[in-house]
Amino acid sequence: MNIHEYQAKQLFQQYRIPVPEGKQAVTPEQAVEIAKGLGGDGWVVKAQVHAGGRGKVGGVKLAKTAAEIDEFSRDLLGKRLVTIQTDATGLPVNSLLIENIYPIQREMYLSLLLDRASERLIFIASAAGGMDIETVAHETPEKIISVQVHPAAGLQGYQCRKVAYALGLQGPQHKAITAIMQGMYDLFLAKDASQIEINPLIETDSGDLLALDAKINFDDNAIAIHPDILAMKDASQEDDKENEAQQFGLNYITLDGNIGCMVNGAGLAMATMDLVKLKGGLPANFLDVGGGTNVEKVCEAFKLILSDGNVKAVLVNIFGGIVKCDVIAQGILEAIKQIHVAVPVVVRLEGTNVEQGRELLSNTGLNIYPADDLAHAAEQVVALAEAVA
Binding region for ligand GDP (CB under 6 A)? 20, 44, 52-55, 60, 99, 101-102, 104, 107, 130-131, 199-200, 212-213
If DSSP codes are grouped into helix, strand and coil, which group holds residue 198? strand
What's the closest the beta carbon of residue 146 comes to ligand GDP, in angstroms? 21
Which residue number, 107 or 300, has a Cβ lying nearer to ligand GDP? Answer: 107
Which residue number, 100 or 310, has a Cβ lying nearer to ligand GDP? Answer: 100
Active site residues: 109, 197
Strand pairing report for 60-63 and 43-47: antiparallel
Select from 199, 258, 317, 380 the one that contacts Mn ion (CB under 5 A): 199
Dihedral of CA 241/245/246/252: which sign?
negative
Which residue number, 40 or 321, has a Cβ lying nearer to ligand GDP? Answer: 40
Residue 60 interaction partner, one of Mn ion, ligand GDP, none, beta carbon < 5-8 Å per kind? ligand GDP
Select from 213, 300, 326, 379 the one that contacts Mn ion (CB under 5 A): 213
Residues 6 or more apart whose Cβ sits within 8 Å of residue 68: 61
Which residue number, 76 or 335, has a Cβ lying nearer to ligand GDP? Answer: 76
What's the closest the beta carbon of residue 90 comes to ligand GDP, in angstroms? 13
Measured distance CA(289)–CA(268) in Å, rounded = 11
DSSP letter at 257 equals S
Residue closest to ligand GDP, measured at CB = 55
What's the closest the beta carbon of residue 288 comes to Mn ion, in angstroms? 33
The stretch near Mn ion (CB under 5 A) out of 119-127, 193-201, 272-280, 336-344 is: 193-201
Which residue number, 2 or 199, has a Cβ lying nearer to Mn ion? Answer: 199
What's the closest the beta carbon of residue 7 comes to Mn ion, in angstroms? 15
What's the closest the beta carbon of residue 52 comes to Mn ion, in angstroms? 5
CA 331, 333, 337, 341: dihedral to nearest 10 degrees? 100
CB-CB contact of 378 with 257 (8 Å)? no
Judged by CB under 5 A, does residue 2 bind Mn ion?
no
Which residue number, 199 or 272, has a Cβ lying nearer to Mn ion? Answer: 199
CA 134, 85, 226, 24: dihedral to nearest 10 degrees? 100
CB-CB contact of 389 with 312 (8 Å)? yes
Measured distance CA(325)–CA(25) in Å, rounded = 53
CA diameter of the chain: 80
Measured distance CA(20)–CA(245) in Å, rounded = 38
CB-CB contact of 225 with 20 (8 Å)? no
Residue 326 interaction partner, one of ligand GDP, Mn ion, none, beta carbon < 5-8 Å per kind? none
What's the closest the beta carbon of residue 158 comes to ligand GDP, in angstroms? 29
DSSP for 291-345 reads SS--HHHHHHHHHHHHTSTT--EEEEEEEESSS-HHHHHHHHHHHHHHTT--S-E
Judged by CB under 5 A, does residue 5 bind Mn ion?
no
What's the closest the beta carbon of residue 18 comes to ligand GDP, in angstroms? 13
Residue 44 interaction partner, one of ligand GDP, Mn ion, none, beta carbon < 5-8 Å per kind? ligand GDP
The stretch near Mn ion (CB under 5 A) out of 6-14, 205-213, 238-246, 262-270 is: 205-213
Measured distance CA(365)–CA(138) in Å, rounded = 55
Measured distance CA(86)–CA(90) in Å, rounded = 5
Which residue number, 53 or 90, has a Cβ lying nearer to ligand GDP? Answer: 53
Residues 6 or more apart whose Cβ sits within 8 Å of residue 359: none
Residues that bind Mn ion (CB under 5 A): 199, 213
